[in-house]
Amino acid sequence: MSLEIFWMQLFSGVSYTAILLLMSLGLAIVFGLMGVINMAHGELMALGAYVTFMVANVFLTIFPKSVDTYILFAIPIAFLVTFLFGMFLEWSVVRWFYNRPLDTLLATWGLSLILQQTYRTVFGPQEVTIPLASWLDGAIEPFTGVQVPLNRIFIIVLTLVVVGVVYFLFFKTSMGLKVRAITQNRAIAETVGINTRQVDMYTFALGSGLAGIAGSVFTMIGSTNPGTGQLYIVDTFIVVVFGGVASLMGTALSSFIIAQLQTTFEFMTTSSYAKVLLMLIVVVILYFRPNGLFSSKVRT
Amino acid sequence: MPREFLRQSWWVNFSIIFGVLLLLPIFSPEFRVPLYGKYLSFAFVALGIVLSWGYCGILSLGQGIFFGIGAYSLAMFLKLEASRPELPDFMVWSSVEQLPLAWLPFQSFSFTLICILVLPVLIAFPFTYLIFKKRVSGVYFAILTLALSLTLTVLIIGSQGGTGGANGITDFSTLLGWDVASDEARSRLYYLMLGLLAVCVTLMHYLVSSRYGKVLIAIRDREDRVRFSGYDTAWIKAATLSVSCVLASIGGAMFVLFTGLITPQLVGAVASVEMIVYAAFGGRVSVLGAVFAAFSIGWLKSALSEQFPQGWLFFLGGLFLLVTAVLPQGLAGLLGMFKKSPNSEGDS
Amino acid sequence: MNKKALLEVRDLLVSFGGFVAIDHVNLTVQSGEIRCIIGPNGAGKTTLLDAICGKTAAIQGSIFFKGIRIDNESEFKRTRMGMGRKFQTPSVYDDLSVYQNIQISVPKGQSILSAIFNSDDQFNQEILKVAQTTNLDNMLDVQAGTLSHGQKQWLEIAMLLVQHPQLLLLDEPVAGMSLRERDQTVDLIQRISAIQSIVVIEHDMDFVKKLSGNVTVLHQGSILCEGLIEQIQADPRVREVYLGD
């Protein structure tokens, strides 16, 4: 395989990788901390996408001159909206299900059905597209023969920034310390005065917010419809299961591996066989590392 | 005979439910009876889920896979019979020249029957035994099965020429010469299926009333202690799940008989999760509850789809929330069909 | 190798991601012995029991039970060979009755077929006898989850006894018990030690004294000293480890 094709291959998977990374980070944070598997995570991504769509429309109608800058506003707004909605979900539904992971799975699946149908009712079943901002159109050519689309670079930079912020939050702030404390030992954390209810709510909200950003990114590569959330949800779960919930770094690595495997297989064979191959590998790895690839042995 | 197997209240409930189901066709127009058959085909699936999830605590979101094995097996047989001596129509449309190798053995009914009843075990048992031996957690297992059912759907849709693709397989006429396509024939089949369901329900009741049922409960609640009591829990779990898969497969075959159709949607992730709700709604540990729930949810789905097509997903989603949050014992718990503590021998 | 020893642990090493929990431990338990394992918290007592019964895998070393090497066997196989393990927190089936808890633990019905087809009453006598031994004979229909902490411990012992093990591994059997229950448990253990060899982890020194068996002191994953309780209590190393003298 020539160098050019290698680069092209690497970059074509970038958007998929970025979205998968953001989604699985969000899910892993929630699962690792609270043992909650949120099947409605995909719908939160869709919410981010729809919010981006609405912001774009607002700009088109009210600020047509600055329409090119909409994306810079849309992303934080999408984050904020999904953050708040996540908080609401946690408070109203999810918090009743801690320590019952299988029930949470089913309950949030029910939530996802309700949300999908809500989107269908509010936005309609058809797809909505958002035109790409003009400054993101086009590509640069770092080496001859290799085209790197600008929007891909934007996505990479955005993802790196987001991951960096998350890292900072978790490892450099006191809130992050509290989260890590609760993950290790909830009971003790409570006895030293950490308000676990509050931390749970904010953490779930953060995980949801990350899904919202993923949704925003998604609008740059595809059109959104009520079923969009379902596109990435199973892959996201596979990333979390594959990586194990030991560390965020492990999740990040895992998403990168899975995304690359997926796109490579798709390059080599048909899309359906690619999925089969991927599942085969996941199952085999799980056999040897039942807690995920990056988990460590803990005294239970 | 386990004491609980003979408990009177269970047999009273059994008679009521099957009595109603038996008499239902008399009071309904003939075209509705195949629909009843369709609803009850999911009762078989729900029965298996009561055993593997309700009693043993194994959440499998891949029962659609085995539903599909039974359904597609029978569909292939029926399609070959209906199209003989030519190729099935969807193959002709996909420019397939010759009958694919995989289809050839389905010209035999015995082979088809073996596929429906035995293939699920051959696939499920080794795979799940190895996974359970490795102590993969319940959540991971559930997600794995979800992903596998999704993968199977993708595979089926991608093989247009071999499986009918996204449209599935339909247009059957006879089974070994017996008419299976008309409403009249299906109405008669209904009674046959009811008999089979009654047998399965009774067998399941015996299973869960016996010591085996207690062991399953013990595994669900404290698997490590069961291992330290000398049981090979991985083997027991794999065997239990395999039984559940065979029941799902039978359900799939029944479905094909009563609807004359199978599509990849019924094999996939969404359908698999929906099947869990049937068991949950009835009360996870209630054998009769599974039958009742499958029938009523099926009936509600048809009714809602006719009147409020938008409403079905809202209703289903709400049902999920209901049975997990508010009604973990499902309808059976609500109707007070449990004699002792709800989580243990509440089989009614 | 000592042919008569029931249990022999040789040079055992157990570590969790770099933290060494059991550090080259050698232990021999004879048939008919009562052995108490004591030591400060974090010494590795429970981990040692975990390794012996199969819950945790050792990195190095070997374990011999009845002369047979078992460190690669799964838990249920070791149980079937005659080992019974009682956990630190009572591990009973909360939703089943006392009778049913014991019934499940009867070894003869451990294959699926016999679980399905064996009648309820076959092992009745054995179950009643074991319930009597553990002071639970008038609570047979009580749901296990509603038992007192002490009674749950007894139930767990009953579930082990019905398997006729040759070696019982008891992890803190009197933790959380009242004084009277403790005395009853001492009687219980002395009664069953006639047939079983027992390894007990405990913190309660009075209890250990009353049992009057051999004592092994564990500290930071290694054996500090072994002997009778009077010798142990007089040993200055033990005092330092426990009291920081």
Question: Chain B residues with CB inside 8 Å of A105's CB?
Answer: 59, 139, 142
Establish, for the pair of chains B and C, how many residue pairs have beta carbons separated by less than 8 Å.
Answer: 84
Nearest CB to B151: which of A111, A117, A279?
Answer: A279
Question: Chain B residues with CB inside 8 Å of C57's CB?
Answer: none
> Cβ–Cβ of A110/B131 closer than 8 Å?
no
Grouping H, G, I as helix, E, B as strand and the rest as coil, residue B261 is strand
Alpha-carbon radius of gyration of chain C: 18
Q: What are phi and psi of B154, to 5 degrees?
A: -60, -40
pLDDT in tens, chain B (348 residues): 777 788 888 899 999 999 999 999 888 888 889 999 999 999 999 999 999 999 999 999 999 999 999 999 999 999 888 888 888 888 888 888 888 888 888 888 999 999 999 999 999 999 999 999 988 888 889 988 998 998 899 889 888 878 888 888 888 888 887 888 888 888 889 999 999 999 999 999 999 988 889 899 999 988 988 988 888 999 999 999 999 999 999 999 999 999 999 999 888 888 998 899 888 888 888 899 999 999 999 998 888 888 887 788 888 888 888 888 877 777 776 666 544 433 444 443
Q: What is the pLDDT of residue B63?
A: 95
Question: What residues have CB less than 8 Å from A285, skipping those under 6 apart?
Answer: A242, A293
Over range C11-27, report the average pLDDT: 88
CA distance to A281, A295, B149, per residue, from B144 (Å): 12, 17, 9
Question: Chain B residues with CB inside 8 Å of C81's CB?
Answer: none
Q: Check: CB of residue A218 under 8 Å from CB of residue A112.
A: no
- Spatial separation of the C-alpha atoms in residues A233 and A227, rounded to whole Å: 11
ipTM above 0.90, yes or no: no
With an 8 Å Cβ cutoff, is B297 touching chain A? no
Question: Chain A residues with CB inside 8 Å of B159's CB?
Answer: 272
Question: Chain A residues with CB inside 8 Å of C56's CB?
Answer: 299
Best of C87, C95, C153 to mutate (most B CBs within 10 Å, chain B): C95
Give the distance from residue A232's alpha carbon to the nearest chain B alpha carbon, in angstroms: 11
Question: Chain C residues with CB inside 8 Å of A296's CB?
Answer: 17
Residue type, B9: S
Domain ranges of chain A: 12-125+151-226
Tokens 């980070």 sit on residue: A25
User: What percent of chain C clears pLDDT 90, i.e. is strictly above it?
Assistant: 23
Q: What are phi and psi of A228, to 5 degrees?
A: -60, -40
Give the distance from residue A121's alpha carbon to the nearest chain B alpha carbon, in angstroms: 8
Q: What are phi and psi of B259, to 5 degrees?
A: -110, -15
A258-297 residues touching C, CB cutoff 8 A: 296-297
Could you report the per-residue pLDDT of C206-241, keeping only the tens digit for each? 888 888 788 998 888 888 888 888 888 888 888 887
| Closest residue in A to C14 (Cα–Cα) | A299
Over range C169-177, report the average pLDDT: 87
| Closest residue in B to C77 (Cα–Cα) | B230
Give the distance from residue C227's alpha carbon to the nearest chain A alpha carbon, in angstroms: 30
Tell whether omega for the bond before A64 is within 30 degrees of 0, i.e. cis. Answer: no
With an 8 Å Cβ cutoff, is A298 touching chain C? yes
**Poorest-confidence range of A31-40, B334-343, C11-20, C216-225?**
B334-343
Residues linked to residue C219 through DSSP beta bridges, in sequence order = C222
Q: What is the pLDDT of residue B345?
A: 40
pLDDT band at residue A142, thresholds of 50, 70 and 90? low
A82-121 residues touching C, CB cutoff 8 A: none
For residue C199, give the CATH number of its domain.
3.40.50.300
| Closest residue in B to A234 (Cα–Cα) | B147
Question: Chain B residues with CB inside 8 Å of A116's CB?
Answer: 313
With an 8 Å Cβ cutoff, is B319 touching chain A? yes
Could you report the per-residue pLDDT of C70-116, keeping only the tens digit for each? 988 888 889 889 999 998 888 899 888 999 899 888 876 667 777 77
Strands (E), A89-207: 139-140, 148-149
Could you report the per-residue pLDDT of C107-143, keeping only the tens digit for each? 766 677 777 776 666 678 888 988 988 889 888 999 9
CA distance to A10, A287, B234, per residue, from A235 (Å): 19, 19, 27
| Closest residue in B to A122 (Cα–Cα) | B310
- Spatial separation of the C-alpha atoms in residues C27 and C20, rounded to whole Å: 17
Residue A299 pLDDT > 60: no
Grouping H, G, I as helix, E, B as strand and the rest as coil, residue B279 is helix
CA distance to A294, B209, B225, C85, C189, per residue, from C140 (Å): 47, 19, 20, 22, 21
Q: What is the 3-state secondary structure (H, E, C) of chain C?
A: CCCCEEEEEEEEEEEECCEEEEEEEEEEEECCCEEEEECCCCCCHHHHHHHHHCCCCCCEEEEEECCEECCCCCHHHHHHHCEEEECCCCCCCCCCEHHHHHHHHCHHHCCHHHHHHCCCCCCHHHHHHHHHHCCCCCCCCCEHHHCCHHHHHHHHHHHHHCCCCCEEEEECCCCCCCHHHHHHHHHHHHHHCCCCEEEEECCCHHHHHHHCCEEEEEECCEEEEEECHHHHHHCHHHHHHHHCC
- Spatial separation of the C-alpha atoms in residues C157 and C139, rounded to whole Å: 15
> Cβ–Cβ of C112/B212 closer than 8 Å?
yes
Give the distance from residue B127's alpha carbon to the nearest chain A alpha carbon, in angstroms: 10
Question: Chain B residues with CB inside 8 Å of A111's CB?
Answer: 317, 320-321
> Cβ–Cβ of A296/C47 closer than 8 Å?
no
Question: Chain C residues with CB inside 8 Å of A297's CB?
Answer: 16-17
Question: What residues have CB less than 8 Å from C181, skipping those under 6 apart?
Answer: C150, C174
What 8-state DSSP symbol labels residue A224?
Answer: B
Paired tokens of B161: 């020429």
> Cβ–Cβ of B214/C84 closer than 8 Å?
no
Question: Chain B residues with CB inside 8 Å of C115's CB?
Answer: 210-212, 215
pLDDT band at residue A300, thresholds of 50, 70 and 90? very low
- Spatial separation of the C-alpha atoms in residues B344 and C97, rounded to whole Å: 10
Could you report the per-residue pLDDT of C50-77, keeping only the tens digit for each? 999 988 888 889 999 998 999 888 888 8
Question: Chain B residues with CB inside 8 Å of A270's CB?
Answer: 158
| Closest residue in B to A288 (Cα–Cα) | B134
Pairing of strands C34-38, C197-201: parallel
Could you report the per-residue pLDDT of A190-234, keeping only the tens digit for each? 888 888 888 889 889 999 999 999 999 888 888 888 888 888 888
Nearest CB to A107: which of B159, B314, B320?
Answer: B320
Give the distance from residue B174's alpha carbon to the nearest chain C alpha carbon, in angstroms: 39
Q: What is the pLDDT of residue B348?
A: 38
- Spatial separation of the C-alpha atoms in residues A249 and B180, rounded to whole Å: 57
Paired tokens of B115: 């596929």
Q: What is the pLDDT of residue B233?
A: 92
> Cβ–Cβ of B221/C112 closer than 8 Å?
no
> Cβ–Cβ of B320/A110 closer than 8 Å?
yes
With an 8 Å Cβ cutoff, is A184 touching chain C? no
**Other chains touching A, judged by 3 or more CB pairs under 8 Å:** B, C
Question: Chain A residues with CB inside 8 Å of B329's CB?
Answer: none
Grouping H, G, I as helix, E, B as strand and the rest as coil, residue B170 is strand
Over range A86-103, report the average pLDDT: 85
Into how many domains does chain C fold?
Answer: 1
Strands (E), chain B: 169-170, 174-175, 178-179, 261-262
| Closest residue in B to A235 (Cα–Cα) | B147
Q: Indicate the pTM of the whole model.
A: 0.86
Q: What is the pLDDT of residue A31?
A: 83
Domain that holds residue C66: 5-243
> Cβ–Cβ of C93/B228 closer than 8 Å?
no
